[in-house]
Structure 1
Amino acid sequence: MTKLERSQIDFSTFMLYRLAEHWGKSVPDTYRILDKANAIDGYLVPCYDMLHTLGSEYLVNDLTDYVREQGICI
């Protein structure tokens, strides 16, 4: 595993826990929502270079909007 891949995993995990807290859901339920929206492989990882420089509050709101745009109820 490369250093970049490890950083992407760490970032995705961090966001998973922040979203779970913000949404008031368990981590497994939050992961299922993100997986259904393809938010990890389709957004967080490919856009890591830009996203990891942003604040967590902004990212929580951005990912919430992203999931809703995919037609998924939180």
Structure 2
Amino acid sequence: MNFTIFLIHKLSAAWKVSPSRVYGILNSSGILDNYVIKCYDVLHTLGAEAMVDDLSELAREKGVLK
């Protein structure tokens, strides 16, 4: 849970949107359950910048981030 909250706040700062908006984007696109939670073991070993870059690219690929 702490990891997810940390990540949402990092994405919020990078995307310049509220944390609740980031949560909505990740949740509605399936990224939260199917990637962040499912791949926690790998993701938590990355630096914050790498995670933001990775999730931003995935969100763009899914069409939920411009």
TM-score where L is the length of structure 1:
0.83
From 36, 45, 69, the equivalent of 2:37 is 45
Structure 1, unmatched stretches of 5+, are 1-8
Cα RMSD for the two superposed structures: 1.0
Give 4+ residue runs of structure 1 displaced > 2 Å after superposition.
none
Higher radius of gyration, 1 or 2: 1
The answer for the alignment partner of 1:27 in structure 2 is 19
What number of residue pairs does the alignment pair up?
A: 66
* Mapping for residues 1-74 of structure 1, pairs under 5 Å: 9-74=1-66
Name the CA distance, whole Å, in 2 between partners of 1:16 and 1:53.
16
- For structure 2, the 5+ residue unaligned runs are none
Q: CA deviation at 1:35?
A: 1.1
CA distance in 1, matches of 2:46, 2:62: 22
Q: Distance in 2 between matches of 1:67 and 1:18?
A: 14
Letter in 2 for 1:41: D
- Secondary structure, in 3 states, of the residue corresponding to 1:71? coil
Shift in Å at residue 73 of structure 1? 2.7
> What TM-score, normalized to structure 2?
0.92
- Identity, % of aligned pairs? 38
